[in-house]
Structure 1
Amino acid sequence: MMQLTAFKNTIDFLKHAKVIAALSVLLTVASVVCLATKGINWGLDFTGGTVVELEFSKPADLPALRANLTADAVKGAVVQNFGSTRDVLVRLQAKADIKSDVQVAEVMAAAQKMDSSVIQKRVEFVGPQVGKELAEQGGLAVLVALICILIYVSFRFEWRLAAGAVASLAHDVILTLGLFSLLQLEFDLTVLAGVLTVVGYSLNDTIVVYDRVRENFLKMRKATAYEVINAAITQTMSRTIITTGTTLITVVALFLKGGTMIHGFATALLMGILFGTYSSIYVASYMAYKLGVNREHMMPVEVEKEGADQPNIMP
Structure 2
Amino acid sequence: MKLLKLVPDNTNIKFLRLRIPFYVISLLLMAASIGLVVTKGLNLGVDFVGGQMIRATFTQSQSVPVGELRESVGKLGYGEPILQQFGKPNEVSIRMKLPEGSEKNVALANEMTGKITAAIRAEHPDARIDGVDSVSGKVSGELFRTGMLALGLAMAAISLYIWIRFEWQFGVGALFALVHDVTLTIGLFALTQMEFDLNIVAAILTLIGYSLNDTIVVYDRIRENLKKYRRMPVPELLDLSVNETLSRTVVTSLSLLITLLALLILGPNVIFGFTAAITLGIFVGTYSSIYMAAPILIWLKVSSASFVPVETALDRQERLARGEKPEPA
Match of 1:238 in 2: 247
Which residue number in structure 1 is paired with residue 165 of structure 2?
156
Alpha-carbon distance between aligned partners in 1 of 2:111 and 2:54, rounded to the nearest angstrom: 12
Identity %: 37
Task: Say whether residues 1:61 and 2:63 are aligned partners.
Answer: no
Given the superposition, is the C-alpha separation of residues 229 and 79 from structure 1 closer, same or farther in structure 2, using an over 3 Å criterion? closer
Determine which of 212, 227, 235 is the counterpart of 1:226: 235
Normalization by structure 2: what TM-score? 0.82
1:143 aligns with 2:147: no
Q: Distance in 1 between matches of 2:76 and 2:97?
A: 13
Q: Kindly indicate whether residue 190 of structure 2 is the aligned counterpart of residue 186 of structure 1.
A: no
Alpha-carbon distance in 2 for matches of 1:191, 1:79:
14
- Deviates most, 224-233 or 59-68: 59-68
Aligned residue for 2:13? 11
- The equivalent of 1:169 in structure 2 is 178
In the alignment, the residues of structure 1 paired with residue 80 and residue 238 of structure 2 have an alpha-carbon distance, to the nearest angstrom, of 52
The structural deviation recorded for 1:247 is 1.5
Deviations 1:263-302 (A, max 9, x none): 2221211111111100101011011122221100122699
TM-score by length of 1: 0.85
Q: The residue matched to 2:52 in structure 1 has which SS?
A: strand
Aligned to 2:106: 98
Between 12-21 and 247-256, the greater mean CA deviation after superposition: 247-256
Q: Give SS of 1:222's match.
A: coil
> Residue 211 of structure 1 corresponds to which residue in structure 2?
220
The equivalent position to 2:303 in structure 1, one of 270, 288, 294, is 294
How many residue pairs get matched?
Answer: 298
Over residues 242-266 of structure 1, what are the superposed CA-to-partner deviations in whole Å (9 max), with x where a residue is unaligned? 1111122222233333423322221
CA distance in 1, matches of 2:159, 2:207: 16
For residue 78 of structure 1, the aligned residue among 77, 81, 88 is 81
User: Out of 243, 248, 256, which is 1:247 matched to?
Assistant: 256
Instruction: Look up the match of 1:29.
Output: 31
The one-letter code of the counterpart of 2:49 is T
Moved more, 31-40 or 247-256: 247-256
Distance 2:32 2:127 in 1: 47
Give the structure 2 partner of residue 4 of structure 1: none
Return the alpha-carbon distance in structure 2 between the equivalents of residues 265 and 289 of structure 1. Answer: 35
Deviation (angstroms), 1:106: 1.9
1:49 aligns with 2:51: yes
Given that 1:53 and 1:88 are in contact with CA atoms closer than 8 Å, whether structure 2 keeps it comes out as: yes
Shift, 1:81, TM fit: 6.6
**SS across alignment from 2:25:** helix
CA distance in 2, matches of 1:78, 1:8: 53
CA 1:165–1:274 in 2, change beyond 3 Å: closer, same or farther? same
CA contact (8 A) 2:73 2:120 kept: no
CA shift, 1:91, in A, is 2.1
CA contact (8 A) 2:74 2:80 kept: no
Secondary structure, counterpart of 1:124 in structure 2? strand
Match of 1:199 among 183, 208, 213: 208
Structure 1 SS opposite 2:133: strand
In structure 2, stretches of 5+ residues that fail to align are: 1-8, 322-329
Matched, 1:278 2:282: no
User: How many Å apart are 1:68 and its aligned residue?
Assistant: 4.9
Aligned-residue offset at 1:63: 6.2
**Separation of aligned partners in 2, 1:205 and 1:274:** 12
Amino acid corresponding to residue 218 of structure 2 in structure 1: V
Between 1:149-158 and 1:95-104, the stretch displaced more is: 95-104
Distance 1:163 1:79 in 2: 39
Task: Assess if the C-alpha contact under 8 Å between 1:50 and 1:124 holds in 2.
Answer: yes
Structure 1 stretches lacking a partner, 5+ long: 1-6
Give 3-state SS (helix, strand or coil) of 1:285's partner.
coil
